[in-house]
Each structure stands twice: as C-alpha cells, then as structure tokens.
Amino acid sequence: MSSPEEKFCLKDVLLSFKSCLVDNDQDVLLEHYLNGWKGLVKFMNSLGSIFSFVSKDAVNKIQIMENFLKGTNGEKYQTLRSMVEYELNSNKVDLTNHSNNPNSGCRTILRLHRALRWLQLFLEKLRTSSEDSKTSTLCAEAYNDSLANFHPWIIRKTATVAFYALPARNKFFEVMNVGTTEEVIEMLGEAVPYASRVYDFTQELYSKHNLLDLP
C-alpha cells in the first residue's frame, strides 16, 4: 500500500502549469512544464494499460526534452523562449522535412503543446458536464477538436477505441484524488486556466516564429 503522501493528486499536477509560468506569462520554465507532463502520464497510467501507447509517446518526448536540459547546452533549454531562440539561431529546426535534425526541442514541444490543447478542452468539458455525461464522449469531442487534426487515420482510430475504456465520470473524478465532485469541479475551475495560459503563450511564441507546422 502506498502512503497518503505518495498518493497521486491531479491538483498538484495541474498546478505545475502555474509554476512554469514566468515573466508575467511571457515565458515558460521547461523543467516545471515537463513535471506537469510527468504527472499527467502518471495519472493516465493509473487509468489502465489501454493508454500505454499514448504514455509511451509522451514519455519519449519528455525524455528527449530532459536530455536537452541535461546536455551540454542545457542552459539554452531553461525556458521555451530561450529554446526557440537557440534552436532557430543554430539551425537545429527542420522547417520542411523531418530528417536532418530529427528531434528538435521545438518540434517535440509542439507535439506536447497540441496535446495540452486537448487536455484543456477535455477538462473544461468535464468541469461543465452533467452527472450523466459520458467521459468517452467528452474525451472524443475534445480530441476531434484538437489533436485528431494532426494524427493519421490509424492513430485516430486507435485513440477513439481506447476512449471507450475511460472510467465513468464519478470514478474518473475519484481517481483524480481531489475530493468530492464539487471539490473536483472547483479545482478544475481554478487550475485549468493555468494550463490555458501556458497554451496561449506557447501558441503565440510558435506562431510568431512560424513554428506551428513543424514536421
């Protein structure tokens, strides 16, 4: 049995997206951003092995970024702004095809950034859902309005099938380990806006540098 302090709590995870915002929402600390993702992966793993194809990809991308942070140019990867500046100035970003510099920080973060949009939409749908709402439907709607647009047919198909394995709304709220339904709804109302602010900042930064379509 795990001790209470080791118990997973979605609120702490979402608050990582608060602690990663710096400079008046004009920059994002990569380490805290990745901590948020690590917590989300943990949460996803607690929902069952059906999502392991998703968590494998997320873990892989987190690892790519952690290797940059630990590497010789680690200080260039402290924030999203410094990463973009560094990688663009040193020609580390493939703008047209994904071959010379396969896993740039910019293209890797772009994948997580698109997934953050899904998360934002999904959690907002959950927050405003009624008791008889189906988590699988909410999740599929959020996915179709975001990530699905960037995924080939086979991944869309697999993801859509996996969504049916999501626990029902009350069970899902329980796994978040935040408290009663009212407390979960309140927590989401408080925490989702931080994820939105991180999303908005990244979107603007990437758009300014024409990085939103990196292969």
Smallest separation, CB 139 to ligand 1PZ (Å): 6
Contacts of 127 (CB under 8 A, 6+ apart): 185, 188, 189, 192
Smallest separation, CB 23 to ligand 1PZ (Å): 26
Pick 139 or 187: Cβ nearer ligand 1PZ: 139
Pick 29 or 54: Cβ nearer ligand 1PZ: 54
Residue 43 CA: distances (Å) to CA of 11, 26, 85, 103, 148: 11, 28, 32, 26, 21
CA gap 77, 85 in Å, rounded? 10
CA gap 14, 35 in Å, rounded? 10
Pick 26 or 157: Cβ nearer ligand 1PZ: 157
User: Which positions lie near ligand 1PZ, rule CB under 6 A?
Assistant: 40, 43-44, 47, 51, 53-54, 57-58, 111, 114-115, 118-119, 139, 143, 147, 155, 159, 166
CA gap 14, 37 in Å, rounded? 9
Smallest separation, CB 21 to ligand 1PZ (Å): 19
* Percentages (nearest 5) of helix, strand, coil residues in the chain: 70, 5, 30
CA gap 164, 50 in Å, rounded? 10
Contacts of 182 (CB under 8 A, 6+ apart): none
Q: Which amino acid appears at position 135 of this protein?
A: T
Pick 17 or 143: Cβ nearer ligand 1PZ: 143
Smallest separation, CB 96 to ligand 1PZ (Å): 15
Pick 43 or 194: Cβ nearer ligand 1PZ: 43
Burial 42-76 (b: 16+ CB within 10 A, else e): ebeeebeeebeebbeebeebbebbbebbeeeeeeb
Smallest separation, CB 68 to ligand 1PZ (Å): 15
Smallest separation, CB 62 to ligand 1PZ (Å): 10
Pick 73 or 136: Cβ nearer ligand 1PZ: 136
